[in-house]
Structure 1
Amino acid sequence: MSNIPTGDGPPAGGTSGTPMAASPLTRAVLEIDEYASGLGWDRPARLFALVDTNALRGQEPGLAQQLGLDTDAEPGSLTPIEQDELPSGTPLDEFLATIAWPDSVAGCALVVERLMLPAGAETDVPQGIGDEELAQWVAAHPSRQEVRMTVGVLRDGSRESALRLREKDSPTEVLTGSSLVPGLAEALAATFEE
């Protein structure tokens, strides 16, 4: 694991202003969303390992102290640890297919920005265009919206997502749900398959 957040990464163990959520995975995804929001828009995709906070404290006390995890966390709490920057020029699905996590990693999360079109816009897509032309067409569409997606999965199959629209960039406008970005969740879950 690398690029471990020290002072500028996501707050560890629920110590931020992130609202209390129903599950540790939801809290971790919202922490990562908050961290990504603080970095601003137009950023490359970011990958995080999710580790059990209390296990991290026991196995890596120095690192836990560096991350501000000096006290016992709620059982099942997850600490996001940012990984190396994703390689540029490699399609995301190809990169994710190369990942294998050690047993100490309970889950992973990915933050990625995309353009989104409203429902029904697919009927307007010109026929017979390639991926590059399609990307240009979407970028020029007057109804496009920029969205930041944070998707997290655990080894046990649990999933959570947070979506934030650029035009409604506020913590109170973040949409969460386990099935908001199923394709990306499937790709992340595949990184735990043996």
Structure 2
Amino acid sequence: MAGRDALTAAVIAAGRDAAGEGWDGAHRMYALTDRDTYLGVAYPLDPLAEVPPDALLAIPLTPLGPGDLGTELAKVTWPDDVHGCVLVTEVTVVTRLGRRRRGKSFGVRRAHLAVGVLRDGYHRSLLRLRDEDEWRLCPDSLSTDGLVTALAGTF
């Protein structure tokens, strides 16, 4: 199986792909597989010679339905050659805007949340605020445990 660092790279790749669809979109799912497995079942349009064998490729799937996210995830199953998955969704987060004389000021911002889970349960959650390009590890205040559990349950 691919290295753990490969999961972070795959989550970022999936997040960037989903961001290309813009905002206010559907929940986006990606299957994670290795280069050799992908080459064995698909004819890629882009050359994969530069992709290391231990990398994880994020393969975009049809967006999930508009229903309840938990209900939609309960319908998902994976073949054995899928090593993991990524879900990219939109969330609203509270951010600190700065300090005022009498305390902190907070604001509400939209963000893309990308959560990747491998079959063995290892996971990575990243967040990208709207109008920013940088993906960051999710802060502890944004618990993704329920989402990680739901994604792990698809295997």
TM range (shorter): 0.7 to 0.9
Q: 1:152 aligned to 116, 122, 127, which one? A: 116
Determine the C-alpha separation between the residues in 2 that align with 1:85 and 1:65: 21
Corresponding residue of 2:15: 33
Offset at 1:112? 0.2
- After TM superposition, the structure 1 = structure 2 runs for residues 74-93 of structure 1, keeping only pairs within 5 Å, are 74-88=52-66, 90-93=67-70
TM-score normalised by length of structure 2: 0.79
- After TM superposition, the structure 1 = structure 2 runs for residues 6-155 of structure 1, keeping only pairs within 5 Å, are 23-57=5-39, 59-60=40-41, 63-69=42-48, 71=49, 73-88=51-66, 90-117=67-94, 143-155=107-119
The DSSP-based 3-state class of the residue aligned with 1:66 is coil
Q: Show CA shifts across 1:95-148 (max 9, x none).
A: 1112111101110100000112359xxxxxxxxxxxxxxxxxxxxxx8322111
Q: Which runs of 5+ in 2 are unaligned?
A: 97-105
Determine the C-alpha separation between the residues in 1 that align with 2:46 and 2:80: 21
Determine the C-alpha separation between the residues in 2 that align with 1:64 and 1:108: 21
* Structure 1 pair 145–178 and aligned structure 2 pair: CA distance change class (3 A): closer
* Structure 1 pair 188–178 and aligned structure 2 pair: CA distance change class (3 A): farther
Determine the C-alpha separation between the residues in 2 that align with 1:178 and 1:55: 34
Aligned length: 141
Determine the C-alpha separation between the residues in 2 that align with 1:182 and 1:67: 35
Structure possessing the higher radius of gyration over alpha carbons: 1
Higher percent of residues as strand = 2
* Structure 1 pair 96–175 and aligned structure 2 pair: CA distance change class (3 A): same
* Segments of 4+ moved more than 4 angstroms: 177-180
Higher percent of residues as helix = 1
Determine the C-alpha separation between the residues in 1 that align with 2:50 and 2:133: 30
Offset at 1:67? 3.8
Q: Which amino acid aligns with 1:176?
A: L
TM-score normalised by length of structure 1: 0.65
